[in-house]
Structure 1
């Protein structure tokens, strides 16, 4: 640098800045004489240059010549009178000179003069506040830093220093506010992030502190203190792997960082990596100025490895290095006790108590250890006294609460234990373990809601507390909150990948939420864990998952493997029997159910299924006998008794004994109102009796009795959809169903239909996409694809619709709706040949599928194959002779096939089947068409007038009926009557092209050709691709030629 600056001096005309830079470079090399030479050279050119005098003063200070430095600074004050900032800078530097010489009063005087000269100069505030801090005047320093921020609110340095001052005076909230402002103004100021982290950690907000420390490390990854703070916070939060990563980096940056080694040693001990801990700690011993904590941790390593003599030696070395290390005495007591030396153990505890008289925490720790010793010896009353004394010494000592409550639990006194845990939480609201233990205690009392609140708080305080997350997931699962349960189990598995219990619960929750394929994969992971292959429960759950996928053979193999591992597993026998019953292997099913009951007679589910199997095999007497035993079993749970009554009710329905069935279903509700099956059965009976409103009440009662039942919300949603034109209430219930059970594909299908009715087609498609991901059985996936295909077809996206229908058929070739959907889509495209082919494919699978015959008939009619259309629709009517709609469609086909008499008979039959048709204008228009085709104009006109009357009575215009009347009048060459009717129709609807055509023809009949020309031209504009376009052009050509 000096070489380049010297080259610049030789070339530049204005050398001031180069000389100043060269002088500064010489000064940094401690070449003070050369630096002074350059500064003086500048002064020769600009004698009043205050900046140069300031640099001279700094140089003299560096040389230790305070007199010359002071003289230079005084020179600035004399020469820079016109510039207050330079005077303030000079006075500040002069104040620094006095401060460095120990003349603190003179320094303060100069700083105050500087502030009087230029109150906006930030440097003076910072130096004066620092002076006050040196003098241990925190209040005065705080006031000056506050003035500094007022002088320059945008200064990150000023806000950082003010934050530190607030922290020193104990005002942490204001300190955090200033540190946050400092980071906002200067995101690279990582020390402010560290300060924020310290404050948050002191407030028990470890997770938030970690976020700040991590941000600081991201700014400066080479700061060992930042990594030490981050690693220590990770250790406190239980994230041991992350702690190891950060603390190892500390030692890479500085192998002699003893605190980093101590923290890393503690982490290794927590991970049971005792050899790694010993290696790190022994390395730290060689450089530790205060080796007491290192010796202590080495004692912990030896104790954990079972080397009690080595542990004793290390604890003694720790005490020799630091006699106040009470923890060493406490652990030494444990070692003596383990060695059977009760006298030495008691002596060590007494020493700990004496040595910690000024430290409440140490006293509480010693008393708690003494309580543990007494409890282990069976002297529980004295142990309780010691724990109570510990809490008196330090009410914030968590260990005493935990040990005292655990002692009460061991004595089967849950109320006392619960009270202690509650006291602990009240005293230490930020202690995650106390919240967790209180939650567990509350759960044991049956207060699941309060338990959930406490364990949620434990997780919030320590997000990596996997045991708390595991228990929280279980609580959510019990409450049917499967989404929340899955979230907790998933995070638990990540935090504790070696926990078989966590993996099992995660996989089981996946299965319960309908994610069978994912559940199987998770159970497979469990089986690969050490000892996992011998876990019968995993095979049972895998079997259930395979059943949900329709893979019965795979399910059977898993159940058999579970029985092989545990031949006395009644549950495995039950599941296998249930599979056999569903497959129709009733003898095998009965055998397995009976074996399950022989192992565990209290397995009520097996009794229920055994009864059902006997009923399926035709032995109703034996079935009823088993169920009666259950209903009379005093030991049976209310839910089991309710299920038994439901089964009795089903058996009564099969015997056509509705009264008995009703009585049984009501008895089921009384036995256990939360078993929703009884409500569903009652609702079905009411629906069959034509009482939909009463049925709806049953579904509503089911939801009220068991609001956590996804099935209850689903059934209520379906009922509301049937009973109301407004789908919003149905949507609410169906959304609750999928919220409770996110894998409920049937609910997604119903919810999608409801959303379509509400005009929310886009959201309906989104839900069908989600259902398709969840539908892992091919048959169910095919149904989802068909419903989505129909939604796309209705939206006019025929290409995507065809893809969905074809995919549905690939997944389930027997899905008739897939073929029908394809046919309808091709019919929309006017590809009638393909449409007819698809309807025929459906009929090959089920020749009695009436709807397929109807759609085939419609397609034939569209194609002009009227005889085929009649044949197909006649088949549909034969299959469902009471279907009035099919009769109407048959009449339409017969009329198109020029069979008006038969068409009229079909229409009349439809009217007899469905009396409501006699109040429908369109029905009489059909009749009018049939009468007209039969040349019975009088009857046709009567029917058309009735259609008009009905339409007007319902508030309609009746234009369709009027058009039919006009056509009839024209067919009788009653031209003026026809013209009047056509004009009335066009007054009601000027866009009615058929009326325009009829009017033109009637005008021609009266030889009003010019007016006819006007109407034919109007027809061409209204219907440029209409059915009669060629006719209109021919009439226009002829009329124009004749009229000119």
Structure 2
């Protein structure tokens, strides 16, 4: 054994001249690698991926620890569809140079394309921690959050991007789409600016026209949707939405023409066929309307609106039995379609079936009353939320219990009820039941998972609380209270490295958060102590 060890030591000894030669050779290899790397970068800037590839591969062969070349090879592979291979090289680039924001950004991009959302979010967040001005990472993170369901986070990021790059039309377009159901006026402003920045982009014109129609500003809608059609005459969606706007404006013959154009481009489009039938019915041509609506329900047998409208038209034509069948199909597809129940009552009455007519009429009224109760419950829930903010827990509890009894399937009401019970010091089991119901109704409700975690912590169930915090952070990465509490819980549980990641993420969203800064410092100290 001793002889073998001596032989190994002697073999490792290299004469000074040979060492000098090795150093020279390594230097030459590095110089050659750098030459290939620089040439590859030039070619990549010109978009010539094919020509850049051999230079990148040669650079890596000459210097396997060249982080930039691994990153560049990842870019080429990703752009040519080899995303899994690209991810491996991005990982290598990050391992060789953890301080490279671009490598983390590219890694996040590859992971997003591979459907690994959580990993992609972590990659983009790390890229932004290293370089807060890396706008592409901020923009792509907004897209990942939108897919994850974290709309608030996506909106915040898009606004940040636009503040940094006011002429970024695509960011304004996506912001407008996200705002449509939340703030229609702001959505129109964002989409209008996107359209002004790129007046030849049919997508921006189409989205802006739809937003105008929903406002409704029908003159602007028709004008803008007309522009969308002129910019992209082969897009059936542009013709369809122009037809809807024209019908809304009472220009029924023009609407029928636009909807006909949509159907010529996409003959199997059931919704366009239904809209054409409605336009023809409104213009007084019941036979033509029935013809189009029959095709609509054939194309989409589960469309309650088309069945209902066909039932209405058939009643006017005296085809009561056929109308009855389609109205029943409408109710099967959507049992809460009040107008179908009302029209069905008319059909039964026309057939002399008074008992069935009365039942259908009563069902319509019951649904109308239920709709009104849901509306009142929403008002009570909003009022209770204001009481909770002011600390008036008793009034909030009373309103929330009443709201739940009126509308038992509203996730936000159950969430607020659970929070109010916890704040009042009430029965933890009642609070847990309310929060569990909120989660059942809306599993992606980060606030419900967070409140459930706090309740579990109150009861000393730290492991279960940690899981709820992880879920909250996963479904809404921008929800900083959950991520801050998750960082605290992880640090308490000995997970200092993961705690540091979440504390850093909080600082990405809230740079001045002193608690997050303290947590990050504590996590880094704990991680350093663990290494020692």
| TM-score range for the pair, normalised by the shorter chain length | 0.5 to 0.7
Is 1:348 aligned to 2:292, yes or no?
A: yes
Q: Contact between 2:297 and 2:306, CA under 8 Å: does it hold in 1?
A: no
1:612 corresponding residue in structure 2: none
TM-superposed CA distance for 1:96, in Å, is 7.3
- Listed as ranges, the matches of 1:560-709 within 5 Å are none
Is 1:194 aligned to 2:139, yes or no?
A: yes
TM-superposed CA distance for 1:338, in Å, is 2.5
Among 245, 263, 277, the residue aligned to 1:333: 277
Among 161, 164, 170, the residue aligned to 2:106: 161
**Deviation digits for residues 65-105 of structure 1 (CA, Å, limit 9, x no counterpart):** xxxxxxxxxxxxxx98515543323233566799999996x
**Whole-Å Cα distance in 2 between the matches of residues 286 and 472 of structure 1?**
46
**Whole-Å Cα distance in 1 between the matches of residues 178 and 394 of structure 2?**
27
- Listed as ranges, the matches of 1:309-458 within 5 Å are 309-323=253-267, 325-352=269-296, 363=300, 367-373=303-309, 376=312, 382-386=326-330, 388=332, 400=334, 403=337, 407=341, 411-413=361-363, 441=370, 444=373
**Whole-Å Cα distance in 1 between the matches of residues 204 and 283 of structure 2?**
33
1:244 corresponding residue in structure 2: 188
Among 231, 237, 241, the residue aligned to 1:293: 237
SS of match in other structure, 2:303: helix
Q: Which of structures 1 and 2 has the larger relative contact order (alpha carbons within 8 angstroms, sep 6+)?
A: 2
**Whole-Å Cα distance in 2 between the matches of residues 475 and 411 of structure 1?**
35
Is 1:218 aligned to 2:163, yes or no?
A: yes
SS of match in other structure, 1:136: coil
- Unaligned 5+ runs, structure 1: 1-78, 356-362, 391-399, 418-436, 445-450, 456-466, 488-1044
**Deviation digits for residues 525-583 of structure 1 (CA, Å, limit 9, x no counterpart):** xxxxxxxxxxxxxxxxxxxxxxxxxxxxxxxxxxxxxxxxxxxxxxxxxxxxxxxxxxx
Q: 1:484 to 1:207 in 2, by over 3 A?
A: farther
Q: 1:300 to 1:469 in 2, by over 3 A?
A: same
- Listed as ranges, the matches of 1:911-922 within 5 Å are none
Q: Contact between 2:274 and 2:306, CA under 8 Å: does it hold in 1?
A: no
**Whole-Å Cα distance in 2 between the matches of residues 416 and 171 of structure 1?**
46
**Whole-Å Cα distance in 1 between the matches of residues 225 and 236 of structure 2?**
11
**Deviation digits for residues 26-79 of structure 1 (CA, Å, limit 9, x no counterpart):** xxxxxxxxxxxxxxxxxxxxxxxxxxxxxxxxxxxxxxxxxxxxxxxxxxxxx9
- Listed as ranges, the matches of 1:386-535 within 5 Å are 386=330, 388=332, 400=334, 403=337, 407=341, 411-413=361-363, 441=370, 444=373, 470=379, 472-473=381-382
Q: Contact between 1:374 and 1:380, CA under 8 Å: does it hold in 2?
A: no
Q: Contact between 1:84 and 1:118, CA under 8 Å: does it hold in 2?
A: yes
**Whole-Å Cα distance in 1 between the matches of residues 297 and 311 of structure 2?**
19
Say how many residue pairs are matched.
349
1:275 corresponding residue in structure 2: 219
Among 199, 213, 227, the residue aligned to 2:172: 227
Q: Contact between 1:370 and 1:383, CA under 8 Å: does it hold in 2?
A: no
TM-superposed CA distance for 1:309, in Å, is 1.2
2:60 corresponding residue in structure 1: 115
Q: 1:482 to 1:156 in 2, by over 3 A?
A: closer
**Whole-Å Cα distance in 1 between the matches of residues 385 and 71 of structure 2?**
55
**Whole-Å Cα distance in 2 between the matches of residues 276 and 486 of structure 1?**
46
TM-superposed CA distance for 1:316, in Å, is 1.3
- Unaligned 5+ runs, structure 2: 1-23, 343-358, 397-532
1:841 corresponding residue in structure 2: none
**Deviation digits for residues 304-359 of structure 1 (CA, Å, limit 9, x no counterpart):** 1122111111111233344455432221122123334444334334544666xxxx
Q: 1:198 to 1:402 in 2, by over 3 A?
A: farther
Among 153, 157, 181, the residue aligned to 2:126: 181
Q: 1:103 to 1:188 in 2, by over 3 A?
A: closer
TM-superposed CA distance for 1:247, in Å, is 1.3
Q: 1:202 to 1:341 in 2, by over 3 A?
A: farther
Q: Contact between 1:349 and 1:370, CA under 8 Å: does it hold in 2?
A: yes
Q: 1:347 to 1:145 in 2, by over 3 A?
A: farther
CA RMSD of aligned residues (A): 4.4
TM-superposed CA distance for 1:214, in Å, is 1.0
Q: 1:320 to 1:160 in 2, by over 3 A?
A: same
**Whole-Å Cα distance in 1 between the matches of residues 76 and 228 of structure 2?**
37
Q: Contact between 1:91 and 1:113, CA under 8 Å: does it hold in 2?
A: yes
SS of match in other structure, 2:246: helix
TM-superposed CA distance for 1:227, in Å, is 0.6
**Whole-Å Cα distance in 1 between the matches of residues 390 and 360 of structure 2?**
32
Q: Contact between 1:312 and 1:332, CA under 8 Å: does it hold in 2?
A: yes
Q: Contact between 1:149 and 1:158, CA under 8 Å: does it hold in 2?
A: yes
**Whole-Å Cα distance in 2 between the matches of residues 480 and 211 of structure 1?**
23
SS of match in other structure, 1:306: coil
Q: 1:201 to 1:405 in 2, by over 3 A?
A: farther
**Whole-Å Cα distance in 2 between the matches of residues 200 and 479 of structure 1?**
29
Q: Contact between 1:227 and 1:249, CA under 8 Å: does it hold in 2?
A: yes
Q: 1:179 to 1:297 in 2, by over 3 A?
A: same
How does the TM-score come out when normalised to structure 2? 0.55
Q: 1:223 to 1:173 in 2, by over 3 A?
A: same
- Listed as ranges, the matches of 1:768-807 within 5 Å are none
2:205 corresponding residue in structure 1: 261
Q: Contact between 1:414 and 1:441, CA under 8 Å: does it hold in 2?
A: no
Among 145, 152, 164, the residue aligned to 2:90: 145
TM-superposed CA distance for 1:110, in Å, is 4.9
Q: 1:344 to 1:170 in 2, by over 3 A?
A: farther
**Whole-Å Cα distance in 1 between the matches of residues 394 and 324 of structure 2?**
39
How does the TM-score come out when normalised to structure 1? 0.30
Is 1:132 aligned to 2:77, yes or no?
A: yes
Q: 1:317 to 1:159 in 2, by over 3 A?
A: same
Q: Which has the larger radius of gyration?
A: 1
Q: Contact between 2:210 and 2:225, CA under 8 Å: does it hold in 1?
A: no
TM-superposed CA distance for 1:381, in Å, is 6.3
Q: Contact between 1:405 and 1:416, CA under 8 Å: does it hold in 2?
A: no
SS of match in other structure, 1:82: helix
- Listed as ranges, the matches of 1:756-767 within 5 Å are none
1:1029 corresponding residue in structure 2: none
**Deviation digits for residues 114-156 of structure 1 (CA, Å, limit 9, x no counterpart):** 2243333233123222332344222212222222222222222
**Whole-Å Cα distance in 2 between the matches of residues 322 and 220 of structure 1?**
38
1:308 corresponding residue in structure 2: 252
Q: 1:326 to 1:375 in 2, by over 3 A?
A: closer
**Deviation digits for residues 989-1009 of structure 1 (CA, Å, limit 9, x no counterpart):** xxxxxxxxxxxxxxxxxxxxx
**Whole-Å Cα distance in 2 between the matches of residues 250 and 101 of structure 1?**
26
